[in-house]
Amino acid sequence: MDGISLGLLLVLLLVLAAEFVNGATDAPNAIATVVSTRVLSPRNAVVMATVLNAVGVMSGTAVAKTIGEGFIRADVVNLTTIGAAMVAIVVWSSLAWRYGLPTSETHALVASLTGAGFATGGTQALLWSGWKKVLIGLGLSTFLGFFGGLLLIVAIYWIFRRSSVGRVQGLFGRLQILSAGFMAFTHGSNDGQKFMGVFTLALVIAGTISMPGEFRVPWWVIVVCSLTMAAGTSAGGWRIIRTMGIRMVKLEPYQGFAAETAAASTIELASRLGIPVSTTHTISTAIVGVGAARGVWGVRWGVVREVVTAWILTFPVCAFIGWLVTTVVQWGVRLLQAPAAP
C-alpha cells in the first residue's frame, strides 16, 4: 500500500461525508418503525442498528463489488469523478434531510457516479451492467416490499383474529425487536457496503492499493465506514424516523413487525444476489403495504407523494450535479495549467 496524497485524502473525506449523510437519511429507515411504535428508545435502537449494521457489512461484499466495478471504469475515470459524485450525494441528501424526506442513497450514488463518469470520459467510462442490477432492484424493492408487507399483515390479522389486543401487543412488542435487528443487519449487508465499494474504488484509482484479482474491501475500510454511518444516524436520524414511522402511517408493533420483516427479507435476497437496492424504497413500500391493509385511508398519501417525488428527482438531480461538479473542476484544472501569456 502506497502513501495517500492530498487529493486522495480529500476524496476519501468526501466519501465519508456521503456515508455520514447516508447514516442520517437512509440508515434510520432500519430503526424507524421500532422507535415509532415505542418498542425501543431512540438511543437503544441506534446502538442496535450500529452493531448489526456492522455485522451485516461483514457478511459479504457482493454489493460492494457491484458498486466498485459495475458502473464506471477505473481505468478511464479519476479521483475527480469520485469526489464530484460524493459532492452531489451530500448536497442532494442534505437538502432532502432538511425537509425530513427519506432519499435513496442507492439511487443517488449510481446516478452521481454515472453523471460524473460521463463528464470525465464520455460513454466509454460508463458500464451498464450495474444499472441492470439497479433496475432489477427497483422492481424487487417496490413489489416485494409492498406485497410482502400487505400479505404478512393480512396473515397476522387472520392468525390472531381471536386474540386479545393486549396479548397481540405484548407478543409483537418482543418480536419487533427481532425484526428491527433483522432490518438493521440487512441494511448493513446491502446499503452499508455501497460507500465501502466507492472508498475502495478511490484507493484503486489512486494506485494506493492494487487489486489484480477479485474486488475486495479492506477490513479497515469496513470499520471506518461503519463508524461514520453510525455517527450520522445518531446525529440526524430523528427527522427521517418521524417521516417514515409517524407521518406516513401510524404503526402498532405488529404492523412494524410485518413491515420490517417483509423489507428485510427482500433486502437480504438482493444482497445475496449482489443487487443494490434502496433500503428507503423497500421499507417505505412495505410500510405502505401494511397501511393499505386497513383500506385506502390507512395511509397518509400526501406524505407518500412527497417521498415518491424525492425518489423520482434523485436520479436526474444527482446525475446533473455529478456532471456539473466534474466539468467545473476539470475546467478549473485546465485553467490553472494553461501557460501564462507572454
pLDDT for the residue 95? 84
* pLDDT 10s digits, 270-287: 988 888 888 878 888 888
What is the mean pLDDT of the segment spanning 47-76?
81
**Are the C-beta atoms of 277 and 270 separated by less than 8 Å?**
yes
| The most confident of 9-18, 36-45, 138-147, by mean pLDDT | 9-18
| The most confident of 21-30, 169-178, 219-228, 328-337, by mean pLDDT | 169-178
Classify each residue of 115-146 as buried b or exposed e, where b means 16 or more C-beta atoms within 10 Å of its C-beta: bbbbbbbeeebbbeebeebbeebbebbbebbb
pLDDT for the residue 12? 95
Gap between the Cα atoms of 279 and 186, Å rounded: 9
pLDDT for the residue 83? 95
pLDDT category, 106, cuts 50, 70, 90? confident
Lowest mean pLDDT among 96-100, 114-118, 299-303: 299-303
Gap between the Cα atoms of 31 and 51, Å rounded: 12
Instruction: Say if residue 182's pLDDT is above 70.
Output: yes
What is the mean pLDDT of the segment spanning 173-199?
87
Lowest mean pLDDT among 77-91, 197-211, 278-292: 278-292
Instruction: Say if residue 6's pLDDT is above 70.
Output: yes
Gap between the Cα atoms of 139 and 135, Å rounded: 6
Of residues 279 and 14, more confidence is placed in 14
Lowest mean pLDDT among 8-22, 123-137, 165-179, 305-319: 305-319
pLDDT for the residue 152? 95
Lowest mean pLDDT among 72-81, 102-111, 237-246: 237-246
pTM, full prediction: 0.82
